[in-house]
Chain A
Amino acid sequence: MAFRTRRGYHAGMNHAHRSSFVLLAASLLCLLAVQSMPTARAAAAPLRVGMELSYPPFEMTDPTGRPTGVSVRLAEALGKHLGREIVIENIAFDGLIPALKTGRIDCIISSMTATPERARSIAFSEPYLRTGLALLVGAASPVGSAADLDLPGRTIAVKKGTTGHRYAATTLQRARLLVLDKESAAVLEVVQGKADAFIYDSMSVYQNHKRHRDTTRPLLRPFHEETWAVGLRLGDDALRDQVNRFLVEFRKDGGFDRLGDEFLAEEKAAFAAQGIPFSF
């Protein structure tokens, strides 16, 4: 911006520009300062529940786009028990713990396994479901068990941030690991023969095999047992006690049986037929 002075052309800001720049910078700093002041939270504030809505039948959306599924029903029942409104936040699975830690959500109900590593970052409620890791194997692959995967020529597809990812990275180190964002991408890798197996929970393996009968083989018996629990912030003991009390009551009421019948009837029957444990 050049303007003419007595000494010739002077390149630089003239006074009008300089003061408006100062005003802009000052207002930016003021905005930040104001935001850093603590705000009072209302007592009956809504409970923000984080989950990734891409894990049927636990976390999914119905055709109109509304969240539905086992975890959503569980969250709604929890809200009723606590007398608080529930707000479902759809967050990618590997972003749930950071979102909880920074206060964007109050709890995680997303079929999350309680592991010792995660327990260093967040607190867990009592477990509410017992399940395990299973394999979705490609039809052309010679893999017959999880141990078969621990060989140099094998390729394993996992979803980023899951216990399957953790298991493969720590226990199956001789195989090549494909870390993918989405369950559908991992399944596609197996279906196209680019990966030998996809490590995921037994119920999803069953569902995915149903959709790809000719190109995949399910190994449904869990080779690594896990339990799912509700994730909470470290130190949020009040909410954790409330959640644990709720889970006990819900189970006594038969709430979990109802959820099983509504969303998992087919899996329950299929697993029972094969003698595979399935328990809420």
Chain B
Amino acid sequence: MPRWLAHTIVVALFAVLIGLAFSRVDYVWNWADVWAYRNRFIQGFATTVVLSLAALLASTLVGILTALLLESKTVLLEAVGRVYVELIRGTPLLVQLLIGFYVVAGAIGLHDRYVVGVLVLALFSGAYMAEIFRGGLAAIPRTQRDSARAIGLTPWQSFRLVILPQAIRLVLPAVAGQFVSLIKDSSLLSVVAVAEFTLAAQEVNSYTYSTLECYLPLAAGYLALTLPLSAVSRQLERRYRYES
């Protein structure tokens, strides 16, 4: 059976099961009221896209820097990286956001909640990225580096032409997963009144009392962001696939 057909059948099955669940609940649908607030949804969606993109880029940077710190021979630098990673991975994002925004940001004079939100997300995701990058690099056998040096490549050339392509292929699934997670985690910024997609749905829900008519489009919107990301990631994995 072709893959697209199998996927469609499974999605249809889920839709039927969910439809059955809805049919037992006496729910009166009211799409008209929610449609009147569509601009709020669109604004929120745009904000989420911008915030997620900024956080994605920033967290990749943070991840690379921290991976370098973790691999450093200097004990103090390695300690900075290790403490940062363990602290961030060991505490909930909500706690980091509340402390970051209401305590730390105020103390250092950063009052824009959007900037603080992106920074908190970047630092959160960066810790996980750092571990992913470090693991990917560590998985490349030392013989690769030795062979590259043996045929006369400089350290930078051997990294760029031999180590990096292999490492990218190894980390791509995990990084794509982290990106998808980040997009969904951005919904937590609603707690500090960042006017993104989730807060838009919650606000419209509080105006119209039409919960499902607000949250179903919300889910669809996030899928519209994350599914293409997964698809691109799978394509890249195929492109980087080669015998080794």
In the assembled complex, B224 has its CB within 8 A of some CB on chain A: no
What number of A-B contacts does a CB cutoff of 8 Å give?
Answer: 59
- Of B57-65, B77-85, B202-210, B231-239, the stretch lying at the interface with chain A is B202-210
Which positions 31-57 of chain A face chain B at CB distance < 8 Å? 32, 35-36
In the assembled complex, B243 has its CB within 8 A of some CB on chain A: no
Quote the shortest CB–CB distance from B91 to chain A (angstroms). Answer: 19
Main secondary structure of the interface of A (DSSP, over half): helix
* A178-B193, A188-B102, A194-B111 known; A36-B24 Cβ under 8 A: yes
* A98-B209, A179-B193, A181-B191 known; A160-B102 Cβ under 8 A: no
Q: Give CA–CA (A36, B211) in the complex, Å.
A: 22
In the assembled complex, B217 has its CB within 8 A of some CB on chain A: no
Total count of chain A residues near the partner, CB < 8 A: 31
Q: Give CA–CA (A157, B206) in the complex, Å.
A: 16
Which residues of B are found within 8 Å of A28, using beta-carbon distances?
A: 17
In the assembled complex, A118 has its CB within 8 A of some CB on chain B: yes
Q: Are A169 and B24 in contact (CB under 8 A)?
A: no
Quote the shortest CB–CB distance from B93 to chain A (angstroms). Answer: 15
Q: Give CA–CA (A152, B123) in the complex, Å.
A: 33
* A32-B21, A102-B25, A102-B27 known; A117-B207 Cβ under 8 A: yes
Which residues of B are found within 8 Å of A101, using beta-carbon distances?
A: 27-28, 209
* A179-B199, A192-B106, A194-B111 known; A94-B24 Cβ under 8 A: no
| B202 touches which of A94, A118, A157 (Cβ 8 Å) | A94
Q: Are B206 and A160 in contact (CB under 8 A)?
A: yes
In the assembled complex, B151 has its CB within 8 A of some CB on chain A: no
Q: Are B209 and A97 in contact (CB under 8 A)?
A: yes
Q: Give CA–CA (A71, B27) in the complex, Å.
A: 28
Q: Are B102 and A192 in contact (CB under 8 A)?
A: yes
In the assembled complex, A180 has its CB within 8 A of some CB on chain B: yes
Contact with B along A75-95 (1 / 0, CB 8 A): 000000000000000000011
In the assembled complex, B76 has its CB within 8 A of some CB on chain A: no
Which residues of A are found within 8 Å of B211, using beta-carbon distances?
A: 95, 98
Quote the shortest CB–CB distance from A236 to chain B (angstroms). Answer: 12
Which residues of B are found within 8 Å of A94, using beta-carbon distances?
A: 202, 205-206
Quote the shortest CB–CB distance from B117 to chain A (angstroms). Answer: 13
Q: Are A36 and B23 in contact (CB under 8 A)?
A: yes
Q: Give CA–CA (A161, B209) in the complex, Å.
A: 9
In the assembled complex, A103 has its CB within 8 A of some CB on chain B: yes
Contact with B along A179-199 (1 / 0, CB 8 A): 111000100110010100000
Quote the shortest CB–CB distance from B87 to chain A (angstroms). Answer: 24
Q: Give CA–CA (A193, B106) in the complex, Å.
A: 10
Which positions 10-34 of chain B face chain A at CB distance < 8 Å? 17, 20-21, 23-28
In the assembled complex, A221 has its CB within 8 A of some CB on chain B: no
Quote the shortest CB–CB distance from A122 to chain B (angstroms). Answer: 8
In the assembled complex, A244 has its CB within 8 A of some CB on chain B: no
Q: Give CA–CA (A118, B25) in the complex, Å.
A: 21
* A121-B209, A161-B206, A165-B206 known; A32-B191 Cβ under 8 A: no
Contact with A along B128-153 (1 / 0, CB 8 A): 00000000000000000000000000
Q: Give CA–CA (A5, B206) in the complex, Å.
A: 60
Q: Give CA–CA (A93, B191) in the complex, Å.
A: 15
In the assembled complex, A258 has its CB within 8 A of some CB on chain B: no
Which residues of A are found within 8 Å of B203, using beta-carbon distances?
A: 160, 165, 169, 179
In the assembled complex, A210 has its CB within 8 A of some CB on chain B: no
Q: Give CA–CA (A117, B207) in the complex, Å.
A: 8
Quote the shortest CB–CB distance from B32 to chain A (angstroms). Answer: 12
In the assembled complex, A166 has its CB within 8 A of some CB on chain B: yes
Quote the shortest CB–CB distance from A72 to chain B (angstroms). Answer: 24
Q: Give CA–CA (A32, B206) in the complex, Å.
A: 30
Q: Give CA–CA (A20, B108) in the complex, Å.
A: 60
Q: Give CA–CA (A130, B202) in the complex, Å.
A: 28
Which residues of B are found within 8 Å of A117, using beta-carbon distances?
A: 207
18 more CB-based (< 8 A) A-B contacts, given A36-B24, A157-B193, A160-B203? A32-B17, A32-B21, A36-B20, A94-B205, A94-B206, A97-B209, A98-B211, A101-B28, A102-B25, A117-B207, A121-B209, A160-B202, A161-B206, A179-B193, A180-B192, A185-B191, A185-B193, A189-B193
Write 21 A-B pairs (CB below 8 A) sorted by A numbering. Answer: A32-B17, A32-B20, A35-B24, A36-B20, A94-B202, A94-B205, A98-B211, A101-B209, A102-B25, A103-B26, A117-B207, A157-B193, A160-B203, A160-B206, A161-B206, A165-B203, A166-B207, A180-B192, A181-B190, A185-B191, A192-B102
| Pairs of residues from A and B, 7 with the lowest C-beta to C-beta distance, nearest first | A161-B206, A178-B193, A98-B211, A121-B209, A36-B24, A94-B206, A97-B209
